[in-house]
């Protein structure tokens, strides 16, 4: 459980909440049905990265750059730093045969950019989270090396969208992942993106 936690109070945020809209609940139910035959997997989501996993990361970081343990223990995922319904509400489903992740995303009012629309940075955050998870389940511990986003149309604030992510290629330690952001009925294309992730080498430190 990459995004699991040792904190007993930490809850799985990828389960239905009162703040979820009707379309999000409907899509959740549809994908959970697909999970019954094992073709899709429901990915859990927690606020905190498990201590046993977070301890893997210092091996990649130069000793002088290490964050002290107290601050590290206070860290939480950026997308889970808002109160329910105000920021990032999402659930991801993974298809191993197709190397694909579908993220159902509902953004809250605190993600506004231009009045009435999502901030581009909020969309970029969710794209990075989705393609990053695709790279993680395919290659282990990775980091974003490049993220190229083409914004086609602004996304109305508080709407629900689908983020479709596809692992395109693995070249050694490099993983190339693409994605698009569409309306729930898949009739409107809001955004397209390509990304490059690099699998971290535990034998080396960052410069």
Q: Which residues are known to be catalytic?
A: 128
Distance of CA 63 to CAs 17, 54, 72, Å?
Answer: 41, 15, 14
Residues 139, 141, 144, CA angle at the centre, nearest 5°?
Answer: 90
* Contact between 144 and 166 (Cβ < 8 Å): no
Q: Compute CA distances 56 → 5, 61, 74, 137, 141, whole Å.
A: 14, 10, 17, 16, 9
Report the alpha-carbon distance of residue 73 to residue 71 in Å, rounded. 5
Q: Is 149 exposed, middle or buried (0-12, 13-18, 19+ CB in 10 A)?
A: middle
């Amino acid at each position: 459980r990459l995004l699991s936690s040792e904190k007993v109070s930490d809850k799985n945020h990828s389960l239905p909440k009162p703040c979820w809209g009707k379309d999000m609940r409907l899509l959740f139910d549809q994908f959970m049905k697909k999970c019954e035959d094992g073709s899709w997997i429901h990915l859990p989501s927690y606020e905190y990265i498990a201590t046993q996993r977070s301890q893997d990361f210092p091996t990649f970081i130069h000793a002088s750059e290490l964050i002290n343990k107290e601050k590290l223990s206070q860290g939480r995922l950026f997308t889970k730093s808002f109160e329910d319904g105000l920021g990032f509400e999402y659930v991801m489903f993974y298809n191993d045969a197709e190397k694909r992740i579908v993220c159902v995303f509902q953004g809250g009012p605190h993600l506004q950019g231009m009045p009435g629309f999502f901030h581009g940075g909020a969309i970029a955050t969710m794209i990075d989270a989705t393609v990053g998870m695709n790279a993680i389940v395919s290659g282990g511990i990775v980091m974003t090396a490049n993220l190229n986003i083409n914004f086609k149309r602004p996304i109305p604030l508080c709407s629900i969208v689908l983020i479709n992510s596809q692992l395109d290629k693995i070249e050694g330690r490099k993983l190339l992942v693409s994605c698009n952001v569409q309306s729930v009925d898949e009739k409107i294309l809001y955004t397209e993106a390509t990304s490059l992730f690099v699998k971290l080498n535990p034998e080396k430190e960052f410069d």
